[in-house]
């Protein structure tokens, strides 16, 4: 994990509109600066210091909300004076525990649901300000060259609020609130509170898909995941053979599996810590569990139910005991010395006592694996306070307890087991995400305190064969979002490689390419428009042999390509016109260092529909007599494969190349009231799925004016707001994220706005037929709100049954995105 420079575009707004009062949590100079900025903008401000009991907090929130809503929430508690505790000692954390996590969590829980209930999410915002030096703690590996002032000035509790905010963002997204800013903003080292807050308001003014940013005024950095495989042929890390390791949560699951393998390779003595009592399982039950766990479950639950007990609770407790017993049995069979200790890792004194007992048995501690955890999926507003506290205690309190209890031991490793839900956030996991991200920052702080110890956190992908993600409720939720689970053997090898050859990173992200693409899409706009880059739709290997310089083949798959799955005409996957234009433009640009600046005489001869789920190869052909013209064609075949017509034409365009200058344009001063756009469902004649639903709101003017051409009346027009998507939303899992000529989903939203205007004019659905000209400016930034202006020009003079329109799309800094003229539509029967 790293941060990279990610400057804003010139001309972007610096102050967002505030749509109501602000609620600020924290008592520090940053909170003061936020209040000052909000009041300058004319917004009322309410302050909450963290030093409250939960009941007092609820009463204070009720009092505030009785007078007015607070759609804007700012969490600043990591900047409180008490937040920057210098060492991982239990006394400091006991004083800070509630203010650091419980109070902000409760504020967020109630604020989000209240804002949803008030129907204010579309105009709301949440900002969490961190104090991690502008690096999010990723640079903990280089603290030896940094000053103690920098280290002591950081707040490890920043991680808890960062994880919480990221999970809230995903939950809001899943509940349909896709444009509500929920920002995690780190303070660049040396930046003043005013500079941090200036950067915060610039972020609110310019929405983006950057999940976490570090700012200082105009300085801006974003996080990124860097692929860095380990050199397993390099010298191995020194691991004391026969050393004593403590493994919290090591009685079962992923933690037990990894600890046993490491112990077997290095002759380690394991001391496994867990909440469950020391297991007492008779040999027959152990054999039954090994032979058929499901059958044992049925037998036990039937017996308990017959006896009048609680079969679910009883089995859950018994299953833990069985799994711990099987772990100890496996250790014996593999020649591993292992002892299980029943202890609550969040009980500081109990952990101190058990560690002292371990020393008396096996000497000093050489390694710690903190794999303890507790989590329960639930929607944010339904999270129970006792379950939230239990989740925080296992991860956060347990880490601090283990660090404090081993502060005088010659530790070689202190390893934390986090989760991608902490790194990225996860739906239904607000507490678990907060706990895991704070775990990472705590271990990063320990790395600063103990440079001789390799301290690192694994952000684990969901394991497929073992662990919490295999619980039925968790597995169902992950299956629903299409997550591919990591095989246990693969995860185990990642662990061994890192312990034996790595450990030089504070945080290690183990996940797949698909998941990284979701959260770190390569914003092609940042790379500049002049670079030819890869071609998302064109694979050079598919260039046709016979006319290799003037043709390409592209395979379209309605089961894989989202632009087909999410674009149905009369129920059938149909290639969107915008995707055809994208492919033609990529073909024309291929192999050059120029940018596509304009498409002329763009026409649709025949729609390209798919009868089923079978893929189809299309060809992109250059006209040999008119070199700027390209066509998209396909072979028409019968069901038995026999050719009916070769190279049947579907789309064509003249593609002009040029430099990458982007004009700034005036779009007029027409103002209309915009209302939210509700896309039609799959039963509509034309269906746009989630990947294409980018038009957020639209308003109409002069829709009853007709198409007067005598100059006395104004033409009907529409003004709308489009939010540019991430390239990953349309590219799917395999196509490159960079190299797009258009933002096809964004242009499709322009055409959707035009279709809505046409419907208002003629009360009929329509489809695109042709364009005289499409001028291409810059690519929009993912998350950027764009303004589209569409004008009805009248009945078409070339299409017997249709109309003519024009449109312009501009970015937040008024730079041109697209300008369309001579757009002809045909009415859909």
Judge whether 58 counts as a catalytic residue: no
Residue 623: Cβ within 10 Å count: 13
First to last CA, the chain: 53
Q: At 119, give phi and psi (nearest 5°).
A: 55, 45
Q: How far is CA 163 from the centre of its chain?
A: 12
pLDDT value of residue 646: 82
Which one is catalytic: 494, 567, 715, 789?
A: 567
Residues 718, 700 contacting (CB under 8 angstroms): yes
- Looking at the DSSP bridge assignments, the partners of residue 187 are 215
CA distance 718 to 701: 6
Tens of pLDDT along 430-443? Answer: 999 999 999 999 99
Tokens of 103: 């109070």
Judge whether 89 counts as a catalytic residue: no
Which one is catalytic: 494, 748, 781, 789?
A: 748
CA distance 550 to 556: 20
CA distance 756 to 766: 9
Tokens of 296: 């044992």
pLDDT value of residue 151: 62
CA distance 670 to 2: 44
Long-range residue pairs from 7-12, CB within 8 A, at least 24 positions apart, any chain:
7/218, 7/220, 8/202, 8/206, 8/218, 8/220, 9/781, 9/811, 9/812, 9/813, 9/815, 10/813, 11/664, 11/813, 11/814, 11/815, 12/202, 12/205, 12/206, 12/812, 12/813
DSSP characters over 715-754: PPEEEEEEEPPPTHHHHTTTS-SS--SS-HHHHHHHHHHH
pLDDT value of residue 711: 36
Q: How far is CA 135 from CA 84, 131, 149, 399, in A?
A: 16, 9, 15, 22
pLDDT value of residue 315: 83
Angle at the Cα of 242 (from 241 to 247), degrees rounded to 5? 105
pLDDT value of residue 146: 54
Q: Are strands 695-701 and 675-676 parallel, antiparallel or unpaired?
A: antiparallel
Which DSSP category does 664 fall into? B
Q: Would the CA dihedral through 546, 552, 558, 559 be positive or negative?
A: positive
CA distance 173 to 427: 9
pLDDT value of residue 267: 97
Of 453, 462, 458, the residue nearest 439 (C-alpha): 458
pLDDT value of residue 518: 79
Which DSSP category does 430 fall into? H
Residue 329: Cβ within 10 Å count: 16
Domains of the chain: 2-224 (3.40.50.720), 244-275+343-518 (3.40.50.720), 522-829 (3.10.129.110)
Q: How far is CA 144 from the centre of its chain?
A: 32
Q: Tokens 């035009």 identify what position?
A: 754
Crossing angle (nearest 10°) for helices 193-205 and 29-40: 50
Residues 780, 724 contacting (CB under 8 angstroms): yes
Which DSSP category does 393 fall into? I
CA distance 755 to 599: 21
CA distance 686 to 576: 11
CA distance 514 to 485: 12
Tokens of 575: 């290639």
Which residues in the chain show pLDDT less than 70? Answer: 140-152, 467-483, 521-533, 541-549, 640, 667-670, 704-713, 799-800
SS3 at position 663: coil
Burial of 171 per CB tally in 10 Å (0-12, 13-18, 19+): buried
Q: How far is CA 789 from CA 358, 663, 677, in A?
A: 72, 17, 15
CA distance 182 to 167: 10
Residues 610, 576 contacting (CB under 8 angstroms): no
Tokens of 549: 């310089």
């Amino acid at each position: 994990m790293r941060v990279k420079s990610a400057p804003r575009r010139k001309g972007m707004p610096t102050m967002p509109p505030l749509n109501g009062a602000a609620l600020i949590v924290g008592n520090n100079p940053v909170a003061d600066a936020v209040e000052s900025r909000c009041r300058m903008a004319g917004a009322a401000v309410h302050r909450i210091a963290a030093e409250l009991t939960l009941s007092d907090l609820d009463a204070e929130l009720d009092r505030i909300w009785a007078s007015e809503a607070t759609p804007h929430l700012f969490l600043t508690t990591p900047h409180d004076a008490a937040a920057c505790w210098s060492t991982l000692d239990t006394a400091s954390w006991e004083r800070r525990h509630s203010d650091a996590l419980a109070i902000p969590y409760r504020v967020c829980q109630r604020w989000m649901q209240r804002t949803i209930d008030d129907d204010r999410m579309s105009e709301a915002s949440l900002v969490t300000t961190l104090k991690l030096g502008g690096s999010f703690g990723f640079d903990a590996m280089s603290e030896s060259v940094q000053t103690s002032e920098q280290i002591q000035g950081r707040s490890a509790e920043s991680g808890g609020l960062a994880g919480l905010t990221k999970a809230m963002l995903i939950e809001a997204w899943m509940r349909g609130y896709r444009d509500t800013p929920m920002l995690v903003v780190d303070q660049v080292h040396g930046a003043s509170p005013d500079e941090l807050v200036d950067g915060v308001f610039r972020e609110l003014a310019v929405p983006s898909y950057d999940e976490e940013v570090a700012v200082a005024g105009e300085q801006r950095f974003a996080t990124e995941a860097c692929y860095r495989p380990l050199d397993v042929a390099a010298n191995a890390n020194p691991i004391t053979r026969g050393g004593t390791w403590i493994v919290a949560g090591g009685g079962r699951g992923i933690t037990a599996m990894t600890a046993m393998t490491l112990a077997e390779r290095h002759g380690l003595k394991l001391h496994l810590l867990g909440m469950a009592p020391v297991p007492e399982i008779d040999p027959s039950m152990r054999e039954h569990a090994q032979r058929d766990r499901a059958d044992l479950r049925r037998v036990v639950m039937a017996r308990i139910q017959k006896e009048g007990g609680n079969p679910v609770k009883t089995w859950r407790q018994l299953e833990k005991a069985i799994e711990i017993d099987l772990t100890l049995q496996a250790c014996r069979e593999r020649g591993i010395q292992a002892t299980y200790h029943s202890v609550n890792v969040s009980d500081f004194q109990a952990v101190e006592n058990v560690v002292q007992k371990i020393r008396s048995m096996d000497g000093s501690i050489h390694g710690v694996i903190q794999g303890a955890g507790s989590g329960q999926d639930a929607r944010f507003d339904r999270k129970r306070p006792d379950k939230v506290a239990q989740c925080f205690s296992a991860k956060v309190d347990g880490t601090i307890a283990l660090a404090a209890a081993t502060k005088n031991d010659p530790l070689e490793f202190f390893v934390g087991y986090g989760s991608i839900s902490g790194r990225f956030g996860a739906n239904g996991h607000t507490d678990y995400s907060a706990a895991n991200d704070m775990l990472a920052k705590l271990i990063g702080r320990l790395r600063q305190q103990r440079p001789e110890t390799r301290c690192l956190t694994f952000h684990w992908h969901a394991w497929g064969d073992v662990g919490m993600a295999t619980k039925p409720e968790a597995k169902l939720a992950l299956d629903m979002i299409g997550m591919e689970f990591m095989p246990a053997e693969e995860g185990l090898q990642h662990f061994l490689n890192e312990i034996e050859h790595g450990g030089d990173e504070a945080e290690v992200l183990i996940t797949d390419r698909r998941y990284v693409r979701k959260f770190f899409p390569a914003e092609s706009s940042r790379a500049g428009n002049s670079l030819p880059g890869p071609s998302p739709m064109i694979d050079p290997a598919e260039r046709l042999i016979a006319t290799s310089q003037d043709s390409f083949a592209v395979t379209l798959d309605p089961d894989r390509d989202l632009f087909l799955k999410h674009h149905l005409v009369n129920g059938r996957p149909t290639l969107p016109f915008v995707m055809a234009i994208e492919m033609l433009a990529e073909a024309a640009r291929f192999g050059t260092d120029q940018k596509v600046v304009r498409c002329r005489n763009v026409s649709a001869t025949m729609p390209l529909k798919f009868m089923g789920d079978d893929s189809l190869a299309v060809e992109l052909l250059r006209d040999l007599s008119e070199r700027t013209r390209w066509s998209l064609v396909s072979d028409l075949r019968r069901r038995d494969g026999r050719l009916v017509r070769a190279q049947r034409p579907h789309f064509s365009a003249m593609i002009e190349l040029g430099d990458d200058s982007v004009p700034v344009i005036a779009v007029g001063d027409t103002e209309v009231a915009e209302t939210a756009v509700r896309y039609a469902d799959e039963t509509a004649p034309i269906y746009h799925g989630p990947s294409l639903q980018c038009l957020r709101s639209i308003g109409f003017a002069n829709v009853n004016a007709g198409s007067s051409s005598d100059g006395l009346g104004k033409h009907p027009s529409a003004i709308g707001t489009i939010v540019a998507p991430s390239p990953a939303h349309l590219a799917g899992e395999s196509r490159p994220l960079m190299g797009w000529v258009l933002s096809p989903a964004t242009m499709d939203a322009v055409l959707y706005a035009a279709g809505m205007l046409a419907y208002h004019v003629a009360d009929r659905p329509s489809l695109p037929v042709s364009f005289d000209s499409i001028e291409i400016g810059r690519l929009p930034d993912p998350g950027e709100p764009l303004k589209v202006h569409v004008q009805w020009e009248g009945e078409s003079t070339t299409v017997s049954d249709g109309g003519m329109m024009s449109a312009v799309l501009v970015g937040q800094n008024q730079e041109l995105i697209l300008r369309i003229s001579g757009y002809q539509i045909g009415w859909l029967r």
